[in-house]
Structure 1
Amino acid sequence: MEGDGREWSGLAREMMVNILSRLTLEERWKGPMFVCKSWLLASRDPFLFSVFDLEPFFGSHSSSSSRFWSPDFERRIDSMIRSVVDWSNGRLAEIRLRHCTDASISYVADRCPDLQILATRSCPNITDASMSKISFRCTKLKELDISYCHEISHHTLVVIGTNCPNLTILKRNLMSLSETGSAPAEYLGTCPQDGDVEAEAIGEHMPNLHHLEIESSRLTLRGLTAICEGCRKLENVDLSGCVHLSSRDIESAASILKNLREMKKPDVYIPRQGIVAAAQTERYGHWRLYDERFDVQSLRF
């Protein structure tokens, strides 16, 4: 066994990096880094950090997801991001994670000009401030996922669309009434209401989109029309949970999308008439509003 240990530690750096590249991020993080100094250095090789994807981790730890919403967990994710950015020497091209903050996303913007994919789902402390930095400094962006990020507004959609002309995939999903998961109740109450405003920003500033997901958005026919008129290259659109759109609305607006391959439609239609006045008085709180006025489950078919 001792001979095997000496043999492994004496491997050429290129060979060690090649071996480590076959491990998952979590496997590299928990194992090789703690073996010896040569393994630690190999584990931090920039070649291994063009992609930083924590989605497999979050998917496999859903049973403990309530702890993900704590400030302490956010600090740990932020620390991981900063380390990976440093080890990548600015070569990061893809980032997929959750529960980080403005601090780490600003760090990415300052040091990763070649970033092409950014997915920051379920991040209550990411705002327009850090996303604005991304738009100005990561102009090669092709895919953006800001689903369940309630502090991000239509301003982010405007600056990203204006400064990142290569963007072809946008995911701006919101939590449905039946799929709130482990998110804190106070966070659910801050879900954005300005669906049409966001839709108009998408339509005006993101003409090259091919794939769009806006599940459970509060947009109406006005917003969908703006998207379809401005994003003529759309091929895949997900409108699941967009309860203020009828089948007739969708067919009418989407008739001009000549490249459309798939359109996922909502299961329920709830006319916006009667709740507009309440929605205008507050941007947030639609969960409470719907609970009081509708039994959504009874409307499903």
Structure 2
Amino acid sequence: MEVVNKEEEKEEMGSSGLIPNWTELTRECLIKIMTRLSLEQRWLGPMLVCKTWMHACQDPLLNSVVDLETQFLSTPPSASRWSPEFEAKVDSIIQSVVDWSEGGLKEIQVRHCSDRSISYVAERCPNLEILCIKTCPNVTDESIMMIASNCPKLKNLDTSYCHGISPESLKVVAMNCKNIEILKWNLHSWLDHPPQYMPREYLSSMPRNGNMEAEIIGRLMPQLKHLELRSSELDAEGLALICQGCSNLEYLDLYGCMCLARCHITECKRSLKFLKEIKIHSRTVWSGPLRGGTLALARNRSLLRRLDSYLTKTMDKVSKMAEGSSFHTTASYENTLAKEVTNCS
């Protein structure tokens, strides 16, 4: 019986096409295949196969984007994300992709990075167009000002929930990055119970610069088409500045903006001719009664004066009803008053 060497048989089968020899793929073919994989898939699979595949994964053509947002959304948030170790890992990923991109990085979508990696990006990636870095407590004015100075092609900026970034950075961004059409400058809503895993010092450091930010946006960012200011403390004056200066707005998110009345939202809709969608929440726009704890949010005096006037008129209305003597008991009077305050606008 003829004995066949298994190695020779394997080579013959590979050369005949029965079993493809993946190590013989050209670099161009490998790169084309790798483009079908996400960053995470490449890091956890092909990069670990062999040096040839690892080097292919490091090609600049595959490293113009750092997008970890899908991974963050697909896994439940936890306290571990707020640790220095986790932040260091995210920073390391960003810095590695920056090196491999050879200056061609155009898009970053991550969370929990720090000034270390964002400054690294600013120094080496002048073609950056999209920077989305939500929930990064250790990203500050230092790195954002570097981005503003070195990345003039920026079109989309999302620094939501980054409490270390001040209006001064926003001003520098607005003055240097004239191509920005999407700006997301959101804060955590105080109406939503904060998750237990969020550090208390992070929650207590939430900035309160609503009108200052609105003035910068309205004066220096007329090109904006998409603006998100969730839970901002801007009032009617701040909203008016935005409407006057950003006439091209198509999308406006004012969810959780407690110092705005419904009449201000209505006026905003009238003045923005290209507006397609405005996002609010009925509980957070004052159109009559302020229920429960929401009264504590009426911080400015003008809102309190409107509230006082409204309640006075409601009391007068119910008192006139009482003169017709449709109430048989004190309880029925109180119930009618409560109903009127709740339902009347």
TM category, shorter? 0.7 to 0.9
SS in structure 2 opposite 1:109?
helix
Distance 2:51 2:268 in 1: 60
Tell me, in whole angstroms, the C-alpha distance in 1 between the residues paired with 2:122 and 2:178. 17
> For residues 180-195 of structure 1, what are the structure 2 equivalents within 5 Å?
180-181=194-195, 182-195=197-210
Q: Which amino acid in 1 is paired with 2:61?
A: F
Mind listing any 5+ residue stretches in structure 1 that lack a counterpart?
277-298
* 1:23 maps to 2:23: no
2:52 alignment partner, SS class:
helix
Is the CA contact 2:98–2:121 (under 8 Å) kept in the aligned structure 1? yes
Q: Which residue of 2 aligns with 1:256?
A: 271
Residue 273 of structure 1 deviates from its aligned partner by 3.0
**Any conservation in 2 of the 1:247–1:265 contact (CA below 8 Å)?**
no
Q: Which moved more, 1:241-250 or 1:82-91?
A: 241-250
Name the % identity.
Answer: 49
Residue 133 of structure 2 aligns to a residue in which SS?
strand
What is the match of residue 34 of structure 1? 48
CA apart distance, 1:180 = 2.9
Name the aligned partner's letter for residue 12 of structure 1: T
Partner of 2:298: 271
How far apart, CA to CA, are the structure 2 residues paired with 1:274 and 1:62?
41
Q: Is the 8 A contact 1:96 1:118 kept in 2?
A: yes
Between 1 and 2, higher relative CO (CA 8 Å, sep ≥ 6) is seen in 1
Count of residue pairs the alignment pairs up: 276
Amino acid at match of 1:102: D
Task: Kindly provide the amino acid, as one letter, of the partner of residue 151 in structure 2.
Answer: C
User: Highest Rg: 1 or 2?
Assistant: 2
Q: How far, CA to CA, are the matches of 1:192 and 1:134 in structure 2?
A: 21
Is 1:14 paired with 2:28? yes
Change in Cα spacing, 1:84 to 1:66, as seen in structure 2 (3 Å) is same
Paired with 2:263 and 2:36, the residues of 1 have a C-alpha distance of: 50
- What TM-score results when the alignment is normalised by the length of structure 1? 0.87
Give the whole-Å Cα distance in 1 for the aligned partners of 2:264 and 2:145.
33
For residues 110-140 of structure 1, the C-alpha deviation after alignment (integer angstroms, 9 at most, x for no partner) is 1111100000100001111111110111000
Quick check: 1:220 aligned with 2:235?
Answer: yes
Aligned partners of 2:91 and 2:117 also within 8 Å: yes
Contact persistence 2:259–2:300 (CA under 8 A): no
The answer on 1:153 being equivalent to 2:180 is no
**Aligned 1:59-78 pairs, distance under 5 A:** 59-63=73-77, 65-78=78-91
Q: Which amino acid aligns with 2:85?
A: D
1:105 aligns with 2:118: yes
1:174 partnered with 2:187: yes
Deviation at 1:51, TM superposition (A): 1.1
* Alpha-carbon distance in structure 1 between the residues aligned to 2:43 and 2:95: 14
Structure 1 position 252, deviation (Å): 2.0
Conservation of the 8 A alpha-carbon contact between 2:155 and 2:179: yes
Structure 2 residue runs of 5 or longer lacking an equivalent are: 1-6, 287-296, 304-341
Offset at 1:218?
Answer: 1.1
Distance change >3 Å, CA 205–CA 15, structure 1 → 2: same
Q: What is the match of residue 80 of structure 1? A: 93
Q: 1:171 to 1:30 in 2, by over 3 A?
A: same
Which position in structure 1 is the counterpart of 2:60? 46
TM superposition shift of 1:204: 1.2
Work out whether residues 147 and 171 of structure 1, in 8 Å CA contact, stay in contact via their aligned partners in 2: yes
1:198 counterpart residue number: 213
Find the partner of 1:137 among 146, 150, 175. Answer: 150
Give the CA RMSD over aligned residues: 1.9
Specify the SS of the correspondent of 2:281. Answer: coil
Q: CA deviation at 1:179?
A: 5.4
Question: Contact 2:63/2:97 (CA < 8 Å) preserved in 1?
Answer: yes
Cα deviation per residue 1:54-81 (whole Å; 9 max; x = unaligned)? 0011011124x32111111111111111
Cα offsets for 1:154-187 (capped at 9, x unmatched): 1111111110111000001111121533321221
Letter in 1 for 2:134: R
User: How far is the alpha carbon of 1:251 from its aligned partner?
Assistant: 1.5
Aligned AA (2:265): I
Cα distance, 1:274 vs. partner?
6.0
